[in-house]
Structure 1
Amino acid sequence: MIKEKDWIKDLVIYQIYPRSFYDANGDGIGDLPGVLQKLDYLEELGINAIWFSPVYRSPNDDNGYDISGYQEIMEEFGTMEDWERLRDACKEKGIRIIMDLVVNHSSDEHPWFLESRSSRDNDKSEYYIWRDPLDGHEPNNWASAFGGSAWEYVPERGQYYFHYFSKKQPDLNWACPRLREEIFHMIDWWVDKGVDGFRVDAISYLDKPRDFPDSTQPPQPDGYSFPDTLAGRPGTHAYIREMNQRIYTPRNVLTVGEVSAPTVEELGNYVRTDREEFDMAIPFVPPVVEIDTWSPDKLRHDIEESYEALKGNGWWARFFSNHDKPRQVSLYGDDAQYWEVSAKLLAMFLHSLPGTPFVYQGEEIGMTNVKLPSIEDYNDLDTINTYRQSLLSGMTPEAALTRARLISRDNARTPMQWDDSEQGGFTTGTPWLKVNPNTAKINVKAQRQDPHSVYQCYRQLIALRKKSPSLSRGDMTFLETGCKELIAFTRSTPGEALITFHNFSGQELTIPDALLSAAGEALLSSYDREGGYRGPVLRPYESVIFRVKKPKPPQ
């Protein structure tokens, strides 16, 4: 499959969260005409593909990931004609379009669900997962990912429906052949309209156990327990392969699965070429887990393990940021004293790795986490549930808010910071979510004018990747530095080799002489504002990319 889609290796994908990108009509909500107005900016950055978070019709319980009309555009974002104008403009600029595809669940306001809930014998009765009460209560003790029970009672049927996420996101019943045909028809329709690929949301949960046994996991503070085994069941992989065989491979479209894969072996089940499922995958790790377990040493281990596992039999999605994660410079770097250099380090590290790099909106200017004053200022369901569960566990409101802020998905969803005005140039109205106050310091306008900004570093990296076969297709070899915070590796093809060093710490670290002896011309340093690379001692969060010296010909 990868050989047939070799073009994916040349992509640099920019993720747009439409509500927060740019508001063209002043209603406080980003929209499709806003994206069209900023397309020249994205072209200047150098990206050649855009992944759009959902723009479909939705009541917005989960910011568009609850879809009530798969072949319609959300009114707040514009019209189908706006989407088509944006599509045409992207095609003219050579920018491919990747749509978010949410087919584990729909909105409870989707016509399918409205009919399904109306009775037990209607035409859409089996499109969702229904179970009878058990002893007058829910069919089992399962928790929803967003808190509370995973079951919701409907009097019209006298039954409960299953929702792994919000109660307004009922899970679709993939065991129903007629439902699958409806979904395949919808995907085909979007490909016919010019979509080049799909990022497939929450795809690890399609297959459900028929008996829905009680969970043996410890209960959450509200008394419900997360399922023992729901992700990656054999039936789920069978459904993914069916989608691939029916649509993805015949239509030559890119696929990126958002998967629950805690091990490299499980990740490989989704992306190994011989499995014929996805071209690449984005593993979902809950922010609290990532915050608690992240370290430079773990980062290196995880990348090396996945590289060796998939080398020659798969491909990698490379990302530090997306709409579900805290901002990368706040999570992995230093968003205070070393904000700029650590933002550049993260960019240089990621874009040096094998795989397809993803840039999440605002990452290219080093946007940071935000500390909103009150839980009422947050919009994200997961943030609100974390706060509620923390209160139930005995935390004070202040401690619960601190914890919720740390993991909040709204860190990534604050409006794009275009300039230093009060609303960051995002809107002339009142934004749907408060703008980060540091827009006065961190914004596109200032960084486009600054030759040493984070934004200019991204432009250089993307341009370097496009002209360097080592970065787009080369082999990778990690090098031993003797220090867990100093990560070094080479990227090489028969005609070119690069060597990179990355100091993931706030301390000075020295490059070993044995490794530095291979370094030739320095191509880029995270300290370019200070004149670039100075010598074997790397400054805090310094990252450097070198060409490897060519051996001297024999005399």
Structure 2
Amino acid sequence: MTEQKDWIKDLVVYQIYPRSFYDSNGDGIGDLPGILQKLDYLEELGVNALWLSPVYRSPNDDNGYDISGYQEIMEEFGTMEDWDRLRDACREKGIRMIMDLVVNHSSDEHPWFLESRSSRENPRADYYIWRDPVDGHEPNNWGSAFGGSAWEYVPERGQYYFHYFSKKQPDLNWACQELRDAVIEMMDWWADKGVEGFRVDAISYLDKPQDFPDSALPPRPDGYSFPDCLICRPGTHAYIREMNRRVFAPRNILTVGEVAAPTTEELGNYVKTDREEFDMAIPFVLPKTEIDTWSPARLREDIEESYRAMKEDGWWARFFSNHDKPRQVSLYGDDGEYWEVSAKFLAMFLHSLPGTPYVYQGEEIGMTNVKLPSIEDYDDPSTRDQYRQYLLSGMDPAAALAQAQLESRDNARTPMQWDCSETGGFTSGTPWLKVNPNTREINVEAQRQDPHSVYQCYRKLIALRKESSALSRGDLAFLETGQQDLFALTRSTADETLLAFHNFSRQERQIPSSLLEGTGEVLLSSYDREGGYRGPVLRPYESVIFRNRP
């Protein structure tokens, strides 16, 4: 991060998944005019940056992450004029526009791919990754992230193309300079239109080993193995530096990379200043991995490790939710008895950490996971594939469905719950994905009127961040409590110290008396509905933030 981008420390970013945010025309699909109609809501919440998940032209095999026209708007979402109006309205409200950018792969319906597949002599023949058959079969044993082989045969060329994701998402060939020039030209075009930032999707996979060796990982139930040599290759870093040199740095554009990094050190390699790559990185972790391995102790360890690695040189993207993860209150909190306090607790914990906080739509009202009754009700291709993999492994269908429900990306993609009506106020038509039935209890309309709601907690946190230099820029120190699920931490500048306690459990926890010395005003409590902080014994999922006395 360069000195000129110190302003990123003041951002609170709100991610919108357009298909599920607000439908303005009754077709059941969220759209750009719908976002524009709700912009006052975002202003009231207090966010000052908007990350827009893909709105480009797409056949929608993977909900817009398969792009067939980088400089066009998907018809379901509106027009380029709608995008221009949204950009102008964001500028008027002081909200920076960040576009999701998918350049690891395109759609197989993109004109580049249609030309590339037509013949080996086409001028764009090398825009994608093609390999000859080996003994009449795929070039290697690699499996796609969405199931099946990572290779698809095209008779016109007599070759296979590589796709790490769906077969409708062929990987772009970043070893081809003409392809890189075309991508850079597209980025420049969007920057000229007023985009102030890019969140770059699946960036860790750009560089491929040209010999494409077999993976040494054990085969999945479908017989293919995950690639074991794709992540964080040296060439990927070189390609990102080229983007930075040619587009990001000259225009002072905010950049956020979605990174699958095996270590904190490798994650830091994407954001350290002398690397000249990204301003922030969003680590990607498979939902199943996170569900199976997370714990409060592991979370603290990861936070401290990344803080040490990037304290002097780098910056953090702080998030618990996005369009690829289960809902945070269902994963890390308690979406039953302690739904409200644990939703507030998670917000207070995240916003008390150093870095730029990200709020994913619906998080600010405590939206939860949903259990759709049948696998056919799920839209997400990875959910359907995971269900098939579980069946192939011998799992009972009911158990396979239960596990797929828990991990599904559709948990985060159910429509935004604006009111208590059957469609959640999202649409006047039939929603593209079923609305969570708990919209009757969990919705924006009710929480805007309730001074003690999850929504109001987020508003207070965001306002506090704007007024507190300790929250936006202060040093972090964890204090020892002797309990793995009771966190105590300080955020400090020369002028201010905030002290926070977070009880990451369903049981009461006692704050050591020595840690309460010097505490002053209580700024926020996750139990504000119950009268707020009442002493050193913290209730389940209780968070409290103090401003220490000078």
**How many equivalent residue pairs?**
550
> In 2, distance between residues paired with 1:50 and 1:65?
18
The residue number in structure 2 matching 1:261 is 261
Task: State the one-letter code of the partner of 1:385.
Answer: D
Whether 1:7 aligns to 2:25 is: no
The Cα offsets for residues 310-344 of structure 1, whole Å up to 9 and x where unpaired, read as 00100000000000000000000000000000000
The residue number in structure 2 matching 1:98 is 98
The residue number in structure 2 matching 1:317 is 317
Give the SS at the match of 2:100: strand
Task: State the one-letter code of the partner of 1:540.
Answer: P
Deviation at 1:2, TM superposition (A): 2.9
The residue number in structure 1 matching 2:352 is 352
The Cα offsets for residues 360-396 of structure 1, whole Å up to 9 and x where unpaired, read as 0000000000000000000001100100000100111
The residue number in structure 1 matching 2:113 is 113
Q: Which runs of 5+ in 1 are unaligned?
A: 551-555
> In 2, are the aligned partners of 1:67 and 1:110 still within 8 Å (CA)?
yes
The residue number in structure 2 matching 1:326 is 326
The Cα offsets for residues 516-541 of structure 1, whole Å up to 9 and x where unpaired, read as 11321110000000110000000000
> In 1, distance between residues paired with 2:461 and 2:4?
27
The Cα offsets for residues 231-282 of structure 1, whole Å up to 9 and x where unpaired, read as 1000000000110111111100000000011211110111111111100100
The residue number in structure 2 matching 1:338 is 338
Percent identical pairs in the alignment equals 81
TM-score (norm 1): 0.99
The residue number in structure 2 matching 1:487 is 487
> In 2, distance between residues paired with 1:435 and 1:518?
47
The residue number in structure 2 matching 1:507 is 507
> In 1, distance between residues paired with 2:328 and 2:220?
28
Give the SS at the match of 2:122: coil
> In 1, distance between residues paired with 2:284 and 2:520?
38
The residue number in structure 2 matching 1:365 is 365
TM-score (norm 2): 1.00
Q: Return structure 1 stretches of 4+ with deviation > 3 angstroms.
A: none
Equivalent runs, 1:217-232 vs 2, <5 Å: 217-232=217-232
Equivalent runs, 1:56-455 vs 2, <5 Å: 56-455=56-455
The Cα offsets for residues 93-140 of structure 1, whole Å up to 9 and x where unpaired, read as 000000000000000000000000000100100000000000000000
> In 2, are the aligned partners of 1:2 and 1:314 still within 8 Å (CA)?
no
Task: State the one-letter code of the partner of 1:524.
Answer: L
Give the SS at the match of 1:270: coil
Task: State the one-letter code of the partner of 1:369.
Answer: N
> In 1, distance between residues paired with 2:506 and 2:274?
43
Give the SS at the match of 1:383: helix
Deviation at 1:548, TM superposition (A): 1.1
> In 1, distance between residues paired with 2:268 and 2:465?
26
> In 2, are the aligned partners of 1:24 and 1:30 still within 8 Å (CA)?
yes
> In 1, distance between residues paired with 2:398 and 2:534?
45
Task: State the one-letter code of the partner of 1:167.
Answer: K
Deviation at 1:549, TM superposition (A): 1.8
Task: State the one-letter code of the partner of 2:408.
Answer: S
The residue number in structure 2 matching 1:457 is 457
> In 2, distance between residues paired with 1:88 and 1:228?
45
Give the SS at the match of 1:529: helix
CA RMSD of aligned residues (A): 0.5
Q: Which runs of 5+ in 2 are unaligned?
A: none
The Cα offsets for residues 415-447 of structure 1, whole Å up to 9 and x where unpaired, read as 000000000000000000000000000000000
Task: State the one-letter code of the partner of 2:448.
Answer: R
Whether 1:475 aligns to 2:452 is: no
> In 1, distance between residues paired with 2:58 and 2:50?
21
Deviation at 1:4, TM superposition (A): 1.6
Give the SS at the match of 1:403: helix
Deviation at 1:308, TM superposition (A): 0.7
> In 2, distance between residues paired with 1:487 and 1:261?
26
> In 2, distance between residues paired with 1:411 and 1:213?
36
> In 2, distance between residues paired with 1:490 and 1:28?
46
Deviation at 1:475, TM superposition (A): 0.5
> In 2, are the aligned partners of 1:26 and 1:429 still within 8 Å (CA)?
yes
Task: State the one-letter code of the partner of 1:71.
Answer: Q
Task: State the one-letter code of the partner of 2:411.
Answer: N
> In 2, distance between residues paired with 1:230 and 1:53?
24
Deviation at 1:3, TM superposition (A): 1.1
